[in-house]
Amino acid sequence: MRLFGYFGCPYCAKVRAYLKFRGIDNKDVEVSIGKPELKGVIENYLQVPVLAFYNNSSSEPDAVVKDSGAIVSTLEQVLRGVAEPMSDIAK
């Protein structure tokens, strides 16, 4: 999974802290001005953090969650088995 965000973004720090706390591996993608990195990931949303799940070789994300609260809540539900696994969050 990839976490799109930038250094100094408090909402991104919140999600990174949560991922570390839960021991979830991820790849941090630092976004630049205008957030071109979000193109093809999420449309009409220019805030970070955004979390994206990818299949092995896919360049298109299988699932995308925006908003730090929604990211934490979604991952927590998946970990607790009360939501469908999103791709495979252990990857």
Ligand X SMILES: N[C@@H](CCC(=O)N[C@@H](CS)C(=O)NCC(=O)O)C(=O)O
Residues in the site for ligand X, rule: CB under 6 A? 9-11, 46-49, 67-69
Look at residues 51, 8, 14 and name the one whose alpha carbon lies nearest to residue 29: 51
Q: Smallest distance from the beta carbon of 9 to ligand X, in angstroms? A: 4
The nearer residue to ligand X, 7 or 25, going by C-beta atoms, is 7
Output 34 or 81, the one with its CB closest to ligand X.
34
Q: Which is nearer to ligand X, 31 or 89 (CB)?
A: 31
Coil/strand/helix, residue 52: strand
Q: Nearest distance from residue 51's CB to ligand X, in Å?
A: 10
Q: What are the C-alpha distances in Å from 16 to residues 19, 23, 56, 58, 69? A: 5, 10, 22, 24, 12
Ordered alpha helix ranges (H), the chain: 10-22, 68-79
- Provide the minimum distance between the beta carbon of 80 and ligand X in the complex, in angstroms, as a whole number: 21
